[in-house]
Amino acid sequence: MTTKLRRFKVWDPGVRLFHWLNALLVLGLMIIGILILNAKTLGIAGDAKILLKTIHSYTGYAFAINLGWRLIWAFIGNHYARWRQFLPIGSNYLHSFKSYCASLRSTNHQRYLGHNPIARIIISIFFLLLTSQAITGLIIAGTDLYLPPFGSYFAEWVTEADPQRLEQLKPGDKTYVVEAAYEEMRAFRKPLIILHVYGFYALLSLVIVHIAGVIVSEFREKNDLISAMITGEKILDGQAEDENDNNL
């Protein structure tokens, strides 16, 4: 008996564009971030280190804009792009989670058109980490390079708003800072640096978990996860658990 394959439109262009741009930008930020973290060992200092931080910051701007776009798209995108479809919320979520976990221990794995209950937890953590990295990164760029949106505030802080000092102030050059004010600013930024660095390690770990989860899910559930994020469509030969919830 031949099972009829059915095609479903799942990921809209907005979601797919965000996903691949985010993957490229996060990869770029991680590579540059590793170079910055190991700058001393690699012999990177002075203008070269400032250049690396500048590239990292401008890549971060693109990352933050892309993330902001996705957060907005969660209100206006299609059914599967919405908040309620990827956050672990809803009156039926706990039941769905238990049912999905039970199915993993059997040969009859539940399949979803959108994110399965475990993936919804992972995606939610992803967005929390991405948002944290964006916010802390923007602040650190202001403390390090005096870049927008907070750079002017930190420049005034370390120069005590002295017009002459402000005019001559340059990233990496302490000639025109007021030492006491500069040390206060560095003390302020220290916990943000710690949060940003540990956020990087957490995000790297989650990326590995995400890739492993996609590969395992692709093999066990045969749900076209990878191709769906390219074409926007999933092709299934059976029932999806959230099929009746599709209000497209």
Question: How many CA atoms, within 13 angstroms, populate the side-chain half-sphere of residue 142?
Answer: 21
The pLDDT of residue 91 is 87
Question: How many CA atoms, within 13 angstroms, populate the side-chain half-sphere of residue 182?
Answer: 15
The pLDDT of residue 1 is 47
Predicted TM-score of the model (pTM): 0.91
pLDDT in tens, the chain (248 residues): 456 778 889 999 999 999 999 999 999 999 999 999 999 999 999 999 999 999 999 999 999 999 999 999 999 999 999 999 989 998 889 999 999 999 888 878 888 889 999 999 999 999 999 999 999 999 999 999 999 999 999 999 999 999 999 999 999 999 999 999 999 999 999 999 999 999 999 999 999 998 988 888 777 766 677 889 999 998 887 788 888 775 43
Helices 93-104/117-145 angle, 10° precision: 110
| Burial grade of 163 (CB within 10 A; 0-12, 13-18, 19 or more) | exposed
The pLDDT of residue 88 is 94
Tell which residue, 78, 55, 14, has the closest CA to residue 171: 55
Domains of the chain: 8-105+112-242 (1.20.950.20)
| Burial grade of 248 (CB within 10 A; 0-12, 13-18, 19 or more) | exposed
DSSP tag of 170: B
How do the residues of the chain divide into helix, strand and coil, expressed in percent and rounded to 5? 70, 5, 25
Q: How far apart are CA 142 and CA 112, in angstroms?
A: 43
Q: How many CB atoms lie within 10 A of CB 160?
A: 13
